[in-house]
């Protein structure tokens, strides 16, 4: 609630732009749409949907989000260049609430080594960029990249000029995660004091986490007067990531007595959104991560458990249900119909087309034959697998694998591509999975190095589904893949194939015959 002494902080989510820049986190269009819908339900004010000039895929994603998403402002990123700004506008124009975000580096290191520009030229470029964006839309954000390492006098000049040119939000990035909280506080406080037109803009902050300070720096900026925080779900992003949305939002909510500021985030959607982003990017959330980690509300020590039983607030500063942990998980089974599944899918926050729901229902029936009780985690896995499979070039038809101690594996793999089947037999490899992976490489003619491989069970019990995540390197880039099945070999095969499909989608899949 916003009262005179309870400021409303704008939440600008950049999961689909800065978050997607995490190595291996690239998402396809269907995945981005699903995340965008989830962000709206979460109540974020601004969705930075991508960097439209970066690639045709980025452009298409921003344009589709702008066309379909309602309820949040849709923003496209642009450098201070005409072509970038024009392309960003082309992508966001269909959104009822749209924003163009232009950026230009201002620190001495960037001016000298990257841009080779003097201070006057930087100011002129920034002003031209903001003016061009302003010619298209009212809502324009300007970011002096690497602001945290920019000389404060020059930063004040750039910010003043950008506001005069029409910037309605001025964002202060700590691009390399270098600042300390008290420094960030000083920068924002100085801008508030010294920039004469600062009241005409919303000051924003965008912190990277290289020294683990992103959330602390963002909060320090709010304390000093910032009115917008840029952040990502699960804190994903370049290198060590960005400010984590769930942490910063819950800090403001839980310590409202201290910050006297709050957001419009529907906190009960934090956990489902975190799980969705982790699922589609393949970036797992560490167990002890604040708010959304598996252990975030687990009390192990006897003394804590005793205190909790007597009075929860002895050891609990937030209620798990307030961030989306369900009290009970609804269980579906083989007699549950399409309507019950559809209802559960909606409650879990997914938006499936009728065709996608049909496909998930088919998989649900197959699973219900193998497994007595189907939990929310199983349903999320089926839905996310369906979303990830949209537009995939290669699909698994069947596999056969026989092996034993001291024996060569014997594998036969059948894949389908546009209705045509391809078979490979393999008698080499370090076990059956290696042989299957070699067979996939042979059929798809995609050569990769497996960098990481994880198996875990989605729910409890011997009949639980296995989820496999792989990370493959191809031509110097990382691609993640995920597969789910009650059969862990099949789950591994699907995960490897999912990553190969991502490579193919990037135009690197070699088999063109």
Among 206, 289, 371, 494, binds ligand KIV (CB under 6 A): 206
Minimum distance of Zn ion from residue 238's CB (angstroms): 6
Taking the complex as a whole, the smallest distance from the CB of residue 9 to ligand KIV amounts, in Å, to 18
Give kind and range of the element (H or E) at residue 50: strand 46-50
Residue 89 CB, nearest distance to ligand KIV (Å)?
Answer: 17
- Residue 103 contacts which entry, ligand KIV, Zn ion, none (Cβ below 5-8 A, type-dependent): ligand KIV
Is 143 an interacting residue with respect to ligand KIV (CB under 6 A)? Answer: yes
Q: Who contacts 217 (Cβ-Cβ below 8 Å, separation ≥6)?
A: 174, 179, 180, 181, 184, 205, 207, 243
The window from 156-164, 169-177, 335-343, 355-363 that contacts ligand KIV (CB under 6 A) reads: 169-177
Count of residues engaged in binding ligand KIV, rule: CB under 6 A: 9
185 is a site residue for ligand KIV (CB under 6 A): no
Residue 106 touches which member of Zn ion, ligand KIV, none, C-beta under 5-8 Å by kind: none
Maximal C-alpha separation, the chain: 77
Cα–Cα distance measured from residue 249 to residue 61, given in angstroms and rounded to the nearest whole number: 26
Smallest separation, CB 451 to ligand KIV (Å): 26
CA distance 152 to 108: 11
Question: Residue 334, SS3?
Answer: coil
175, 228, 465, 501: residue in contact with ligand KIV (rule CB under 6 A): 175
Q: What are the Cα distances from residue 15, in Å, to 21, 89, 363?
A: 9, 20, 29
Closest of 389, 383, 449, 438 to residue 410, by C-alpha: 438
Closest separation between CB of residue 455 and ligand KIV, Å? 34
* 469 binding ligand KIV? (CB under 6 A): no
Let me know the angle formed at the C-alpha of 504 by 502 and 509, rounded to the nearest 5 degrees.
140
CB 416 within 8 A of CB 393: no
- Chain positions 5 to 44 lying near ligand KIV, rule: CB under 6 A, are 18
Q: Are 411 and 399 in contact (CB under 8 A)?
A: yes
State the binding partner of 145 from Zn ion, ligand KIV, none, CB within 5 to 8 A by kind: ligand KIV
User: Facing residues of 473 across strands?
Assistant: 449, 478
Of the two residues 102 and 332, which places its CB atom closer to ligand KIV in the complex? 102
Under a CB-based contact definition with an 8 Å cutoff, are residues 130 and 84 in contact? Answer: no
Using CB distances below 5 to 8 A depending on partner kind, what does residue 324 bind out of Zn ion, ligand KIV, none? none
Smaller CB distance to ligand KIV: residue 76 or 483? 76
DSSP class of 332:
B
- Minimum CB distance to Zn ion smaller for 18 or for 45: 18
Q: Locate tokens 């205190």: which residue?
A: 307
Three-class secondary structure of residue 361 per DSSP: helix
3-state SS class at 408: coil
Q: Which is nearer to Zn ion, 18 or 378 (CB)?
A: 18
Q: For Zn ion, give the closer residue by CB, 162 or 379.
A: 162
Give the C-alpha distances (Å, rounded to integers) separating 3 from 8, 39, 198, 288. Answer: 9, 25, 22, 34
Q: Which of residues 9-68 bind Zn ion (CB under 5 A)?
A: 18
Residue nearest to Zn ion (CB): 18
- Asked whether position 103 contacts ligand KIV by CB under 6 A, the answer is yes
Tell me the chain's radius of gyration from C-alpha atoms: 25
In the bound state with ligand KIV, the residue whose beta carbon lies nearer, of 173 and 481, is: 173
145 touches ligand KIV (CB under 6 A): yes
Please say which residue, 51 or 350, places its beta carbon nearer to ligand KIV.
51
Number of residues that bind Zn ion (CB under 5 A): 1
Query: Would you tell me which residues interact with Zn ion (CB under 5 A)?
Result: 18
Please give the residue ranges that form the binding site for ligand KIV (CB under 6 A). Answer: 18, 103, 143, 145, 171, 173, 175, 206, 208
């Amino acid at each position: 609630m916003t009262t005179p002494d309870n400021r409303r902080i704008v939440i600008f989510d950049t999961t689909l732009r800065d978050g997607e820049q995490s190595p291996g986190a690239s998402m396809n269009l269907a995945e981005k749409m699903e995340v965008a819908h989830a962000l709206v339900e979460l109540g974020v004010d601004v969705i930075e949907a991508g960097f439209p000039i970066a690639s045709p895929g980025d452009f298409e994603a921003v344009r589709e989000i702008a066309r379909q998403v309602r309820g949040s402002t849709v923003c496209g990123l642009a450098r201070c260049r005409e072509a970038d700004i024009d392309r960003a506008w082309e992508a966001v124009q269909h959104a009822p609430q749209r924003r163009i975000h232009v950026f230009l580096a201002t620190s001495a290191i960037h001016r000298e080594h990257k841009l080779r520009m003097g201070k006057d030229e930087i100011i002129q470029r920034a002003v031209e960029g903001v003016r061009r964006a302003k010619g298209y839309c009212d809502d324009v954000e300007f970011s002096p990249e690497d602001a945290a390492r920019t000389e404060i006098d020059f930063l004040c000049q750039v910010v003043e000029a950008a506001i005069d040119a029409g910037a309605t939000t001025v964002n202060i990035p700590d691009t390399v995660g270098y600042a300390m909280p008290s420094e960030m506080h000083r920068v924002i406080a100085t801008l508030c004091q010294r920039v004469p037109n600062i009241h005409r803009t919303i000051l924003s902050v965008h912190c990277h986490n290289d020294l683990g300070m992103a959330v602390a720096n963002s909060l320090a900026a709010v304390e000093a007067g910032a009115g917008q925080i840029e952040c990502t779900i699960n804190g994903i992003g370049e290198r060590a990531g960005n400010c984590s949305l769930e942490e910063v939002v819950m800090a403001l909510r839980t310590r409202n007595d201290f910050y006297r500021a709050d957001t419009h985030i529907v906190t009960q959607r934090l956990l489902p959104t975190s799980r969705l982003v982790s699922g589609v990017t393949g970036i797992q959330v560490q167990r002890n991560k604040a708010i959304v980690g598996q252990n975030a509300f687990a009390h192990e020590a006897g003394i804590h458990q005793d205190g909790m039983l007597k009075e929860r607030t002895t050891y609990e500063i937030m209620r798990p249900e307030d961030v989306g942990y369900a009290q009970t998980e609804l269980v579906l089974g083989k007699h549950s119909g399409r309507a019950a599944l559809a209802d559960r899918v909606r409650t879990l926050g997914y938006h499936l087309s009728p065709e996608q729901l049909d496909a998930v229902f088919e998989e649900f029936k197959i699973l219900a034959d193998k497994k007595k009780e189907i939990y929310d985690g199983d349903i999320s896995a089926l839905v996310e697998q369906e979303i990830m499979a949209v537009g995939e070039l290669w699909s698994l038809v069947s596999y056969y694998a026989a092996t034993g101690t001291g024996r060569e594996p014997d594998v036969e793999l059948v894949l389908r591509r546009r209705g045509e089947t391809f078979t490979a037999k393999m008698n080499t490899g370090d076990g059956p999975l290696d042989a299957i992976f070699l067979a996939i490489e042979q059929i798809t003619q995609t050569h990769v190095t497996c960098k990481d491989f994880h198996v875990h069970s989605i729910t409890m019990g011997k009949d639980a589904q296995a989820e496999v995540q792989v990370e493959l390197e191809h031509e110097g880039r990382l691609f993640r893949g995920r597969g789910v099945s009650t059969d862990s070999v099949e789950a591994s095969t699907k995960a490897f194939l999912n990553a190969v499909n991502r490579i193919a989608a990037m135009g690197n899949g070699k088999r063109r015959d």
